Chains A and B, each alone.
Chain A
Amino acid sequence: MHWLVRRSIESFLRETYSDQFWLRVCQRSGDDALQRYVYDRHSIDLISDAARFLDKPEDDLLEDLGAWIARRRRVRRLLRFSGRNFPDFLLNLEMLADRVRMVMPDFFMPRVQVFEDGADCLRIDFPPDGHDWACCMAGLIRCMADDYGALGLIWIGENSVTVQISDGSFAPGRRFLLGGDEEAAR
């Protein structure tokens, strides 16, 4: 698993639940093998175990993970670079995989396609086995809708996410300064 995925899952579980919870997820195969084991494991197995311990559907946990990632200040800024407004952001998700590859050539992220799906409706299509990505992306999109101050309804399909944009500028949204440090600028 890519170190960044592992670090995201670890930080997400530690911050959202607790350090103990993260250790419990790691320790599944016994104390002794803990260290080696967790580095070799597939990220999705970590999510499965965590979801089972929490008695929560895996899809929901992935969606939470996506939202948590988008709430990181640095990530949020990088995502805001992708579009001037929420619809623009959604359309430009097609470029996200290329952007990621440009910064981290060894990180695989599936390419998505964005289609207009009726009035004010956009559908983001993932490759055939992209359901986990779709769940995670749905959480991320939900969080970014807030950030842009847009109102959107989001459905997760088998390998797609559909977003109905009711209002592109529902609330003022959070400030985004190219030069950074919105907190200080407030």
Chain B
Amino acid sequence: MNAGLGKILSPERVLLGADDLSALMPQHLLVDAQGLLLGAGPTTRKILPGNARFLHDAFVITRPITAAPIAELLSELVESSDRIELRLTADAKVRLRGQVVRLADDMFLLDLGFGMTLPEAVRRLKLDEGDFAASSLAMEFLFLHEANHGILRELSLFNTRLNDARSEAEDRAYTDPLTGLRNRRGLELALDMALHATRGSEEARGFGGFAVAQVDLDHFKAVNDLYGHAAGDDVLRHVARVLGEAIRDGDVAARTGGDEFVLILHGATNHRALRKLGQRIISEIRKPIESGPNLCHVAASIGLTISSNYDDPIAEQLLADADMALYESKRAGRGKVTILTGSLPPATPLRPVTK
């Protein structure tokens, strides 16, 4: 192999005492041709049952697979230099593999190792550093095994926290801190998603239609002026609660300005049902609101438009048209619900569906 080594005279035979053999190969076994155990290294002794006399008392040979008697099997392994693979009879999870050499006619030496089952074997057999030869990589293997586990665990915890922080930050970015409703950015996102869902096939548009409602408070400024901003905040929280209770799961309520709110109502295209919903919201908002010692009174007007009114609805148009309907409600004396239909002034680029 190595040019340098070629000049060194290797002795034909090396004599090793049993102690030296155990020091070099703590996981060895000496057996005779019948598999009778003649000797074992200190680590192998730890895994042998106390009453084991033959190889097959302690081990099941898993490779090579053969029905041949043990004597034949050992001789074949010596000639072919193939590995022998075994598992503990008492514990199938501990597997070993090794090399067989013939020391004398009737004596074979097996040097064994745990291979990939090392961590399992160390745990089950309670082995420690002294059980492995100094040249063995067992310690390094175990170190890597544990280090990998630890790092993967930390990494997944780190990623979880990172994701939590990210979604928390996103939630914050889309939420109105005072009322917990969505803010304008949150509304825009929801509106885009709603529009996206309505695009595509005719059926999808039919079922996927939605209404956009602009809700505006009346007399809100008066409450602020009369009772202060804390009372104003109480009013806004009250309105948010009313809106939150009025809408269904999947619908969206947002606060887009001081006293302006927007709702996205999915699957709500029936005028009568929308009008009823709007009136219920208005009557709930109209109830007196306690704020400290004061009772605050506000009212609300609502304007709606429906996505199925449009061939190709876009967000700005829907919001502007709902706003126009809202203006109509205010003009008609406040506390009203207006749903945009084809009868509105043609000042908008709207193409109304005549019903």
- Given the interface contacts A35-B169, A179-B123, does A75 sit within 8 Å of B142 by beta carbon? no
A181 to chain B: which residues have CB within 8 Å?
Answer: 123
> A103 with B154: in contact, given A84-B129, A178-B122, A179-B126 (CB under 8 Å)?
no
* A57-95 contact mask (Cβ, 8 Å, vs B): 1 or 0: 000000000000000001101100100100000000000
In the complex, what distance in Å separates the CA atom of A180 from the CA atom of B142? 10
B151 at the interface (CB under 8 A from A): yes
Q: Determine the chain B residues whose CB is within 8 A of the CB of A81 once the complex forms.
A: 139, 142-143, 146
A171 interfacial by beta-carbon distance below 8 Å: no
> B165 at interface (Cβ–Cβ under 8 A)?
yes
Contact pick for A74, options B124, B129, B150, CB 8 Å = B150
B166, A177: Cβ atoms under 8 Å?
Answer: no
- Residue in B128, B143, B155 with the greatest tally of chain A CB atoms within 10 Å: B143
Distance in angstroms between the alpha carbons of A161 and B165 in the assembled complex: 38
Q: How far is the CA of A133 from the CA of B152 in the complex (A)?
A: 24
Given contacts A4-B154, A7-B157, contact A179 B124 (CB under 8 A): yes
Q: Is the CB of A103 within 8 A of B129?
A: no
A interface majority secondary structure: helix
Whether A119 sits at the interface, judged by CB under 8 Å, is: no
CB B169 to nearest CB in A, in angstroms, measures 5
CB pair A103–B124 under 8 Å, yes or no, is no
Contacts of B126 in A (CB 8 A): 177, 179
Interface residues on B, range: 20 to 34
The distance in angstroms between the C-alpha atoms of A84 and B27, with both chains bound, is: 21
A99 near B155 with CB under 8 A, answer no
Contact B154 A180 (CB under 8 A): no
**Cα-based distance from A84 to B154 in the complex (angstroms):** 27
CB under 8 Å from chain A, chain B span 142-160: 142-144, 146-151, 153-155, 157-158
A74 to B157 CA separation, bound complex (whole angstroms): 14
A102 to B146, CA, bound (A): 12
**Closest Cβ–Cβ distance, residue A80 to chain B (whole Å):** 10
Closest A residue, CB atoms, query B170: A35
**A179 contacts B150, CB within 8 Å?**
no
Give the residues in chain B near A77, CB-CB below 8 Å. 146
Tell whether A178 pairs with B147 under 8 Å between CB atoms, given A3-B158, A35-B165, A35-B169.
no
Question: Quick one: closest A residue to B153, CB to CB?
Answer: A74
Known: A78-B146, A81-B142, A177-B128. A103 touches B123 (CB 8 A): no
Q: In whole angstroms, how far apart are the Cα atoms of A77 and B139 in the complex?
A: 12
Q: Which residues of A contact B147 (CB under 8 A)?
A: 78, 99, 102-103
CB distance from A177 to the nearest CB of B (A): 7
Q: Is B77 at the interface (CB under 8 A from chain A)?
A: no
**CB of B268 within 8 Å of the partner chain:** no
A84 neighbours in B (Cβ, 8 Å): 129
Write out the residue numbers on chain A whose beta carbons fall within 8 Å of the beta carbon of B247: none
- B127 lies within 8 A of chain A by Cβ: yes
A 36-73 to B, binary, CB cutoff 8 A, 1 in contact else 0:
00000000000000000000000000000000000000
Minimum CB distance partner of A180 in chain B: B123
Q: Is the CB of A178 within 8 A of B128?
A: yes
Residues of A3-17 whose CB lies within 8 A of B? 3-4, 6-7, 10
Contact partners of B169 in chain A: CB under 8 A:
34-35
* Set of chain A residues within 8 Å of B143, measured between Cβ atoms: 78, 81, 99
Contacts of A103 in B (CB 8 A): 144, 147-148, 151
**B interface residues, Cβ below 8 angstroms from A:** 119, 122-129, 139, 142-144, 146-151, 153-155, 157-158, 161, 165-166, 169
Binding site for B on A (CB under 8 A): 3-4, 6-7, 10, 34-35, 74-75, 77-78, 81, 84, 99, 102-104, 177-181
Q: 12 A-B Cβ contacts within 8 A?
A: A4-B151, A4-B154, A6-B158, A35-B169, A74-B153, A78-B150, A102-B147, A104-B151, A177-B126, A178-B128, A179-B123, A179-B124
List the 4 shortest-distance A-B pairs measured between CB atoms, nearest first.
Answer: A179-B123, A74-B150, A103-B147, A81-B143
